Chains A and B, each alone.
Chain A
Amino acid sequence: MSIALTRSSTTGFGLRWLWLTPIVLVAALIAGTAIGETSIPVETIVKVLANQLLGADYAVDRIDAGIIWNYRLSRAVVAGCCGTSLALAGVVLQALLRNPLADPYLMGISAGASTGAVAVAVAGLGAGALSLSLGAFIGALLAFGIVIMLAHAANSGVGGGRGVQAAGAIILAGIAGSQLFNALTAFIITKSASAEQARGIMFWLMGNLSGVRWADVALAVPAALFGLLVCLWHRRSLDAFTFGADSAASMGIAVRPVRGMLIIAMALVTAVMVSIVGAIGFVGLVIPHAMRFIVGSRHTRLVPATALAGAVFLIGSDILSRILISGQVLPIGVITSLIGAPAFALILIRGKRS
């Protein structure tokens, strides 16, 4: 893959491997479509795609065609978008807040989404007019808004250099906000959920791609592309934060508007993804770190590398979640952590040695 090619040159700005990106992505999507409980030959996949996209007229099994087009392909595309978005959100937050533990859920987004989902599914908020996804989306934005207001209030009470304190305030506010919304979720579940409902919610919270259809693709693809474009456009601003916000300001970055815009954009994209597939952990925290070890910290290379790796990682995790236990689909969040944690540990150890 692209990794081997870039390993040797951590100093240059070379993007020679960029042409590999679409190939790797398409390969991952085809794998995501081919592999499953009934494995489907690549030839059939190509035929179905030709029928659907190019209006060709190959004879294919109708059940195969249905599985490929309506079930697996849409699912793989959304998994890819989700992986890209969460990983990029991680890159941005880690760069802006100068904190290696920052991840997309730091700002209360997953906690708020859970509360929103539970409020709709268990407490019956909206009396059936709201879908689980919409409830999660509203909950995520509400929690994010509260966290930002809290951070703002806390920050105006602290003096000195605006960089360090602002980043610290956001992190602390995120922890406080997340705890509040997690407590609300627990409260609603204990008060009104049946055991079965609670299990269903748990499953959703750990990430679930089973219900994904083309309507979700129409939402996920633009959101992921938007996130990617924002990151690419601001790659130099992100670089300028290497030595903190003050240093970025002294190099001409309008810190407050740029940081605010980037954080809000990433929060929106994350909220969209969480509302579609639940809160898939680990991707946003670890993929950026892994990619930094491989392609370095400059965002001109880190952003595309992370976008690709996030997509491939989540498509791969989704495949594993479907085939690991036959007849049963594991929550994808379990896979991302089970596979990702040891893989990440390996990268960390090897990185230390080099």
Chain B
Amino acid sequence: MRLTAEQLAWSVHGTPLLTDVSLTVEPGQTFGLVGPNGSGKTSLLRLLAGLNKPKAGRVLIDQQPMHTLKQRAIAQSIALVEQQADTTDRITVRQVVSLGRTPFLSALRPWSKEDDAIVAQALRDVDMAHMTDRLWHTLSGGERQRVHIARALAQQPKILLLDEPTNHLDIRHQLSILELVRQLPITVMISLHDLNHAMECDRIGVMDGGRLIDSGLPQEVLTAARLRQTFGVHAHVVNDPVDGKQIMRFRNSI
């Protein structure tokens, strides 16, 4: 599914958090969202997920304006992995992931074997299949994050939104989550702090001060000038002799 934002604006108490954000993520693309703290990445993802109504502009899912859809219909297409979502409930990993089936269940459509299979697959996808019966409060931060991602995958979304999903993850699971996300045949928007990770996305958008100041192919967007101007760091690119890929190194000053 194609995800389109048209001139989105969002403000809280008259403080603008997003101004005039327009972008399109093509079906199947992985779109990386980067920007300093407070640049509006989370606000944008919330609008795109339908958690907040934009003060101006609109969101389109394919050609359909989001505000004409019911919350349930939105959730059948879009899943969101929030940055921090915790609970004090005594609930197992499997039960958390099962919550992802909520948009598809009703009195007439009870839990089925198919749902069991979807949940099991989602747990395998994030490498948590061996922990299905563990209680939530016994999990580490990284394990919780992976369970949240599995919960979103159990929604079988056509569009997946992830807000800094690699926070708290050890390096192995950072890489495996990013790998998983890239391989998903669905439209993905992912906010990231690690710019080298962002380089692996199909396209990148740079947020600053609530505006989308640039978007395009990673190597075109993340230039030395852009990094100096937006992130306040000096960067230079080195080539990895193993696979010939470019990696960036950063310093505060030259």
Contact = CB atoms under 8 A, between A and B. Distances in A.
Contacts of A162: 51-52
Interface in A198-246: 233, 236, 239-240, 242-244, 246
A348 interface: no
Contacts, number: 88
A100 to B, nearest CB: 7
Contacts of B130: none
B165 to A, nearest CB: 14
Contacts of B100: 251
B85 A247 contact: yes
B74 interface: yes
Nearest to B72: A252
Interface string B114-153: 0000000000000000001100000000000000000000
B75 interface: yes
A236 B88 contact: no
A249 B52 CA distance: 10
Contact of A249 (B50, B86, B155): B50
A160 interface: yes
Contacts of B94: 11
A252 B104 CA distance: 9
Contacts of A251: 75, 99-100, 102-103, 155
Contacts of A343: none
B90 A243 contact: no
A10 B92 contact: yes
Chain B contact patch, size range: 35 or more
Interface stretch (B76-84, B179-187, B205-213): B76-84
Contacts of B90: 10, 292-293, 296-297
A265 interface: no
Nearest to A163: B51
A250 B87 contact: no
Nearest to A13: B111
B21 interface: no
Interface in B182-203: none
B88 A100 contact: yes
Contacts of A13: 111
Interface of A: 10-11, 13, 98, 100, 159-162, 233, 236, 239-240, 242-244, 246-247, 249-255, 292-293, 296-298
10 contacts: A11-B95, A98-B88, A159-B13, A236-B102, A244-B85, A250-B51, A250-B79, A252-B75, A253-B102, A254-B70
Interface of B: 12-13, 46, 49-52, 70-76, 78-80, 82, 85-92, 94-96, 99-100, 102-103, 105, 107, 111, 132-133, 155
Given A249-B71, A251-B155, 9 more contacts: A11-B95, A100-B88, A161-B51, A246-B82, A247-B85, A250-B50, A250-B78, A254-B71, A297-B90
